[in-house]
Chains A and B, each alone.
Chain A
Amino acid sequence: MIGNFFKSLYGEKENKVCKKCGRSFTYSELAKHSMICPNCGEYFRMTPRERLVMICDKFEEVDANLTSENVLNFPNYDEKLKTATKTSSSKEAVVCGVAEIAGEKFVIFVMNSEFMMGSMGRVVGEKITRAFEMATEKKLPVVGFTTSGGARMQEGIYSLMQMAKVSGAVKRHSDAGLLYITVLTDPTTGGVTASFAMEGDIIIAEPNALVGFAGARVIEQTIGQKLPEGFQRAEFLQEHGFVDVIEKREKLKYTISNILKLHSC
């Protein structure tokens, strides 16, 4: 089913090149391997559509048509939004909806690194907040896939305040006794790490995903030294106590399904 979906989405002609080993693959080949390089094992970054097909049995999108405006009249932001919409074929950096795996219903959000590096402005904050508010109202768990460069600076203080806004909705969902699972994918940094990415009851990460608060370059400039191998990778976070499970992509659906079921009785 996944193979067919990718075929219909991209066709057989458009190949994708592995950034690690340089080999080229068709989408159907990659889809059979859960978007993992069949040659070297490198994880390809996934779009929300690819992720939703891989994880969900059923999915219905909500708030699909919210789009960003240049509220501060920030230089070149209009053009950036246009380009991002075109190149990523999406309207914003997150997709939200109601989904099912093996009969378990939940609210899902999946961020999109292809849209302005998954940065969070008013629309991303609003969509995720609404997702949590809907989940609280319907008494459903939330599963969130994060990938983001952080707050979207073109929206100034509004983007920063999204961190507080989403965290408020997460807290209300949590206080209602409901489950929130985050899946940290490569890369998750900045304001997203410093808010809802780390607020899950259960935090799962994909192997080798880069997850951190400050960017590596900023840290290197601050401390004036090179960072150690594996710094801010999923395994580093787990070693320091911040990640519950590092799960291989091909087993993610099973693991999420299992955890959801364990919370449904």
Chain B
Amino acid sequence: MGAYEKVLKARNSNRPSGAFFVNRMITKFVEFHGDRRFSDDGAIVGGIGYLNDMPVTIIAMERGDDVNERIKRNFGCPSPEGYRKALRLMKQAEKFNRPVICIINSSGAYCGIGAEERGQGLAIAENLMEMMTLKTPIISVVTGEGGSGGALALSVADSIFMLENAVYSVISPEGCASILWKDSAKADEAAEALKLTANDLYNFDVADKVIEEENMSYDEICDNLKCEILAKLSELKEMPIEELLEKRYQKYRNIGKL
């Protein structure tokens, strides 16, 4: 499958969004709303529940399944208050010693007047800084489209998983083609050049694990993902916090090291 086919697959509306993974993996889930600053962003769903018998905080990007849901959730494009809600829940997780799971599936942070007025850049920047030293394990999973800074704001983690047909890129192939070649129809070329597939990112040591999808239903994929998350979290929870944070720092320090 070509890179651009993967992009289209990752975006396909039949592909489950964040809430599916939350509902299937987590029992006794309680959703928490709002950033306690301005509003509640529907593009990000967050709360607590059990992963088997382990209390966790889970934060997921959700684009909605039908038209009304999609409008309510802004097509899965988070606003600054979405990132601030996520950070609030992560700080809460740190306080109560719960691991954090982030589910990433968004074309990117919302580009609008209000988002700029309320500091979209700052909201992302703060998450990058704070997640780097959050004193509890973090696992981020890219399940569909990982769109640039808007995805990065939930993926400073101890371990990054990607579903086999997920993509993660600095810019959309269409955006890249239109800037570089003034022709968004060259998106397939751009997708190849950007090297944005799960396997590419695994080879670059950005993704730590690729979750297979072939010949499996989304239920099965999600169950496998859950097993992998449980195994990794059990391992990370045993690690002294200083070691965990040093490894997290070095993970990013070493990506594409010169």
Determine if A170 and B149 form an interchain contact, defined as CB atoms under 8 angstroms apart. Answer: no
Chain A min CB distance to B143 (Å): 17
Please name all residues of chain A whose beta carbon is closer than 8 Å to the beta carbon of B9 when the two chains form the complex.
none
Question: Known contacts being A126-B258, A164-B128, A174-B129, is A212 close to B193, with CB within 8 Å?
Answer: no
State whether the Cβ of A28 lies closer than 8 Å to any Cβ in chain B.
no
What's the interface size class on B, roughly?
35 or more
Determine if A164 and B156 form an interchain contact, defined as CB atoms under 8 angstroms apart. Answer: yes
The digit string for B127-147, where 1 denotes a CB below 8 A from any CB of A, is 011101100000000000000
State whether the Cβ of A87 lies closer than 8 Å to any Cβ in chain B.
no
Cα of A241 to Cα of B117 in the assembled complex, Å: 9
State whether the Cβ of B171 lies closer than 8 Å to any Cβ in chain A.
yes
* Interface SS of B by simple majority: helix
A-B Cβ contacts below 8 A, count: 160
Give residues of chain A (118-163) contacting chain B, Cβ–Cβ below 8 Å: 122-123, 126, 129, 151, 153, 155-161, 163
Where the two chains meet, the residues of B that have a C-beta atom closer than 8 Å to any C-beta of A are 109-113, 115-122, 124-126, 128-130, 132-133, 148-149, 152-153, 155-156, 168-171, 175-176, 179-180, 189, 193-196, 200-201, 204, 206, 249, 252-253, 255-258
Task: Supply 29 A–B pairs (Cβ within 8 Å), ascending by A.
Answer: A74-B194, A76-B180, A126-B257, A156-B170, A157-B195, A158-B256, A159-B170, A163-B149, A164-B155, A165-B253, A167-B129, A167-B156, A168-B129, A169-B253, A171-B132, A193-B125, A194-B120, A195-B124, A195-B128, A197-B125, A198-B121, A199-B126, A213-B116, A213-B120, A222-B111, A222-B112, A231-B113, A240-B117, A242-B119
- 6 smallest CB-CB distances across A and B, nearest first, come from A193-B121, A214-B111, A167-B128, A158-B256, A213-B121, A194-B124
Further contacts, 11 of them, CB under 8 A, given A71-B256, A153-B170, A168-B252: A161-B206, A167-B125, A168-B249, A171-B133, A174-B129, A193-B121, A198-B126, A211-B121, A214-B112, A222-B111, A241-B119
